[in-house]
Each structure stands twice: as C-alpha cells, then as structure tokens.
Amino acid sequence: MLVKRRVREGEGEEMIRLEDVKMHFTVRKGLFKTTTMKAVDGVSLKIGKGEILALVGESGSGKTTLGRLTLRLLQPTSGRILFENQDITNLHEAKLKMFRGRVQAVFQDPYSSIDPFMNIYQIVEEPLVIHRIGDEKERREHVYKTLEDVRLTPPQDYAEKYPHMLSGGQRQRVGIARALVLNPEYIMADEPVSMIDASSRVEILQLLKRLQETHNIAFLYITHDIATARYFSDRVSVMYRGRVVESGPSEKVIEKPLHSYTKQLIAAVPEPDPSNRFRERSVVETGSFDEDDADLVEVEPDHFVAGFKK
C-alpha cells in the first residue's frame, strides 16, 4: 500500500479526545454592540480507534462546529484537543500538516466541497501531491485503486471527467475517495448523505461502513438523522445548544433514551406508516429537561446523561 499507517490500530485505544472544549464566536450587533455565540460550550468526548461515534442533534446545536474542532479547522476558545494523547490545540498551521495527513473529512455538500475546475483524477490525487507521496506512476495506481474502492469503476472512465458531469451520489464518492486516498485513521463525516438523493443514500452509507470495517477508520458521523445513526454508529452523542446531553452505545441511547431532549428527537423521526404516528407521539414526554449547565452522569455503564437525578 502506498500510504502506510503510522500506528497499528488497536481496539480500545484513544484516537481523539476533547476536554471541556469551548468555541465562542463574537457576533457584531450594531456598531458597538457585540454578543457572544456559544457554538460549543464545554464538550468532552472521545473517539476510540476504529470506532464510529454519531453526533446527533438539531440544526444549530453545534455539531458541525464540534466536527470542525476535531480536525483543528477551528482553534477552540478554551479546552484541549488531543490526537493520540498528543495536544494539538495550539499547533501552528505549518505543524498541522503532519496531523492533516492522518485525519480527513467528508462534507455535506458534494457540489461545493470539490473543485469544479479540476477533473476527478486531479481531485483525488491532490492529497498525495500536497503531502508529496509517491511518483507519478505510483500515484496513478493508488488513485485508481481508491476510485475502485469507492465503486467508481472502471476508474479510467471517471478520471478525466469533471464534477459537473457526475450525479450527486457519484460526487460524494469522489469526496470519499479524496478523504480515503491518504489512508487516514480518522474521518469526520459531516452529514455525508443529507444532500444526496434518497436512492443513493443507502449505497453511500454501506460504502462508508464497509470502508470503515476494511480500513478500521475511526469516524465521527455528524447527522440529524437518528435512523442512519443507529445503523451506522457504535456510539451516539446527542448535542443540544452546544452541549452533549446524552451519550452512550447506539442501541441503548436510541432504544432507551433518558434525556427528554433525546426522547423528543427520536420521536420526531418520521414513521414509515402514518397510522402509527399518534401512537408514537403520545409516548413523548413534553416536560422540560434541564437546560442549565448540568454535568453528565453515568447512569449505567458507558451511558451518560446530563442532569440525571436518580
């Protein structure tokens, strides 16, 4: 393989850890007045090697910002970000390049996240060029292999094409191939299927899952779609207003939500059979849940809920 893994993967080891990370933006209101927008407000979480963590929550809950923080695309206002127990919170741009070679991202919008002026081959080759890996011939082989991995076959047919010639699903495969070409250990996937036709969604998710299994990649899967989170992830963290309110193994959190926000979120999932709708809705507790700075409490092994009182 052209791009070697630096560390052999091991179960249970930590990939990324966030410690009380806060990301506050200053928003200008009028000429002199500014307010602070707390996009992420004191989040601690960890993603193990080869683990898929789903980050769910409504729009504006801060999940995308959190995803960006794990890649150090943003520098947090406070808190620490550790990658393999190494602090990368205050790394300079130049030193980040090494780190960037080992983590990748798949973005929500396959239309705007790939360069429309490059052909597919150039797009997928670019990470190798940036990190100066291989010679022309080796790169070509590796790019073709990666295109095959994401089922853009035969790769020769796609290499010379430009993004506007492809469908949304095919473009997202290009985006995945670009993320995969450096053989990363961690991928942040920000709503990777939300802008794709329903018909291609499952294929893309299956592809991601298969790639995750064969390459043992740690994933942060950001979504507002509980159903795919359950299908795709090992663990789920629920975000609400910049904080994690519930976190635990996917099965447990989705089957038996404890926080009232999680319950509402799960209840909002549309039911395939509309006749069941009212029955489902009636289960929802409309009572308020704790919005204050409540700490996460371990309710059962590996299942944390904010402000839970036994």
Rounded least distance, CB 121 to other proteins, Å: 15
- Residues making contact with other proteins (CB under 8 A): 68, 71, 73, 93, 96-97, 100-101, 103-105, 107-109, 112-115, 117, 126-127, 130-131, 175, 178, 182
Rounded least distance, CB 88 to other proteins, Å: 13
Rounded least distance, CB 165 to other proteins, Å: 17
Report the alpha-carbon distance of residue 71 to residue 121 in Å, rounded: 25
The residues, any chain, with a CB within 8 Å of residue 92's CB and separated by 6 or more, are none
Tokens for 78?
A: 């406070």
Smaller CB distance to other proteins: residue 126 or 290?
A: 126
CB count in 10 Å sphere of residue 194: 14
Rounded least distance, CB 254 to other proteins, Å: 29
Report the alpha-carbon distance of residue 215 to residue 180 in Å, rounded: 9
DSSP calls for 209-259? HHHHHHHT-EEEEEES-HHHHHHH-SEEEEEETTEEEEEEEHHHHHHS--S
Rounded least distance, CB 224 to other proteins, Å: 18
Rounded least distance, CB 44 to other proteins, Å: 23
Backbone angles phi, psi at 141, to 5 degrees: -60, -45
Smaller CB distance to other proteins: residue 44 or 113?
A: 113
CB count in 10 Å sphere of residue 138: 12
Tokens for 219?
A: 């994933």
Smaller CB distance to other proteins: residue 7 or 129?
A: 129
Smaller CB distance to other proteins: residue 131 or 241?
A: 131
Rounded least distance, CB 80 to other proteins, Å: 21
Backbone angles phi, psi at 184, to 5 degrees: -75, 165
Q: What angle do CA 25, 27, 31 make, to 5 degrees?
A: 150
Rounded least distance, CB 286 to other proteins, Å: 37
CB count in 10 Å sphere of residue 274: 8
Smaller CB distance to other proteins: residue 76 or 248?
A: 76
Smaller CB distance to other proteins: residue 155 or 175?
A: 175
CA neighbor of 246 nearest in space, from 232, 231, 261: 261
Smaller CB distance to other proteins: residue 131 or 209?
A: 131
Smaller CB distance to other proteins: residue 71 or 253?
A: 71
Backbone angles phi, psi at 254, to 5 degrees: -80, -35
Which is it for strands 78-83 and 86-87: parallel, antiparallel or unpaired?
Answer: antiparallel
Rounded to 10°, the helix 168-180/136-149 angle is 130
